[in-house]
Amino acid sequence: MHVADLPITALRELLDSRLLSSTELAEACIARTEAAAALNVYASFDAEALRAQARSADQRLAAGERLPLLGIPIALKDNIDAVGWPCAVGTGALQGKAPAADAELVQRLRAAGAAIAGKLGMHELAFGITNHNAVSGAVHNPWDPRCIPGGSSGGSSAVVAARLVPAAIGTDTGGSVRVPAALCGVVGLRPTVGRVSGVGIAPISATRDTGGPLTRSVRDCALLDAVLSGDHSPLQSISLRGLRLGVPRAPCWDDLDPGVTVLADAALAALRDAGVDLVEMSLPGVAETSGEAGFPIALYEFVRDMRHYLEVRQRGITLEQLIAGVGSPDVAGAVGTLLSGGGIPEAVYLQALQARRRLQALYRDAFEQHRVQALVFPTTPRTAARIGEDETVMLNGRALPTFLTFIRNTDPGSNAAIPGITLPAGLADGLPVGLALDGPANSDRRLLAIAAAIEAVLPPAPKAPLVSA
């Protein structure tokens, strides 16, 4: 097997035993990246910088140093500050501008020995789901370059699916880790909000944002979660026999693409055969309450939190300049009038926060009343759309809003700040389908352990075809 295809857990053993050098691994990643340039996954990539980090890692390994990520290339979404790299947030006004300090999560990655592989393409300002960015160009899905990789962490999902690096870090506000992970066929974790520091991440909303890993296995996801959060508690060995999982038919299983339905039902059958107790249930009021909370919170806090980020992180521009430089029509439509009479009034924002508290109570009650440890559902109602289908997509013969369709199942849990993970469930007409799990607040390690047990009974995740320039 090609070294660039191996998970972090396998690479760790090879590096520590000196059967593989970090330099060899870096060269494999560089060669793959150069061959797949047409995917446009990187916003900035520097082969020589990666080689220098790899040489340093090899010296440290030779001296006997052992760290969880020593010598492992990890790529970062381009809204995460990292010294030595521009942090453009996918927008025009920040192109070429480098931050003065690392984000706290980057400090943790470096302390664990990671080599920063580069900065990844994203939907402009993280305000979208397609990664069709008018400033930096569209990121392409490795399974079909005509299709979107999902967003806003589209580069983070595509780079892992294309096997250019072992793992990447994205951010998730309403589904921006899990949606692209599902559409590209990789694992993606949204931690409980607050578990991973947001300092040094260009924000949408402090209430909703969180960084999270995208990997090719749940074990790799758990390793990165431990590094990012500082919670190194080992994953428990979970028996699926007798495990109670909720199946929220309404709204998460409604109106699915037929191919998604087939794979999701097959996943449930595999879980049932493994002894899982699948509890049929619904989530009454969740979709409506989430809708009351989501956009008002995001749009109100964007003005407050992005202004704070630009000033405190000394990014060299004002919020007014940032918004004036937006190039993508959908993003301009979302943020263009926030400073000129189109903002969210404080009273509406406070009402949205109240709705969020009700939403969190609804989820708490659902877990407790049904005595389930997680909810299981398709991550997205359909597979990846074609690039350019920015406004509407077809689902079961109807044209529906692209953004709302893809975040339909991920946004409520995001607004409730609970942890969620997506696993590859197979291919429908050649495109990946994701199976999602949501858990109670702060159950992240337990959720990862459950996901690892489920991953073991699902069919092995297929590999995306290698793409050449």
The secondary element (H helix, E strand) that includes residue 196 is: none
Q: How far apart are CA 157 and CA 86, in angstroms?
A: 20
Q: How far apart are CA 330 and CA 392, in angstroms?
A: 12
Q: How far apart are CA 441 and CA 150, in angstroms?
A: 25
Find the catalytic residue in 21, 44, 77, 197.
Answer: 77
Residue 163: CB atoms within 10 Å = 21
Find the catalytic residue in 22, 153, 157, 176.
Answer: 176
Residue 331: CB atoms within 10 Å = 23
Find the catalytic residue in 21, 44, 136, 152.
Answer: 152
Q: Give the strand order in the sheet containing 277-282.
A: 42-45, 115-120, 73-77, 167-172, 210-215, 187-190, 420-428, 431-438, 374-378, 244-248, 277-282
Could you give the angle at the alpha carbon of 43 between the alpha carbons of 38 and 49, nearest 5°? 100
At 9, which amino acid appears?
T
* CA dihedral (434, 439, 444, 445) positive or negative: negative
Buried b (16+ CB within 10 A) or exposed e, 419-439: bbbbbbbbbbeebbbbbbbbb
Enumerate the H helices of 274-285 as residue ranges: none
At 379, which amino acid appears?
T
Contacts of 225 (CB under 8 A, 6+ apart): 189, 191, 213, 231, 444, 445, 448
Are 430 and 403 contacting, i.e. CB atoms less than 8 angstroms apart? Answer: no
Contacts of 137 (CB under 8 A, 6+ apart): 40, 121
Q: How far apart are CA 116 and CA 246, in angstroms?
A: 38
Residue 266: CB atoms within 10 Å = 16
DSSP 235: P
- Parallel, antiparallel or unpaired: strands 73-77 and 115-120: parallel
At 401, which amino acid appears?
P
At 430, which amino acid appears?
G
At 285, which amino acid appears?
G
Residue 75, beta-bridge partner list: 118, 168
Q: How far apart are CA 441 and CA 192, in angstroms?
A: 6
E-state strands within 130-256 = 167-172, 187-190, 210-215, 244-248
- Could you identify the residue written with the tokens 């250019």? 164
Specify whether 97 is catalytic. Answer: no
Specify whether 176 is catalytic. Answer: yes
Are 140 and 150 contacting, i.e. CB atoms less than 8 angstroms apart? Answer: no
Residues annotated as catalytic (active site), given as ranges: 77, 152, 176
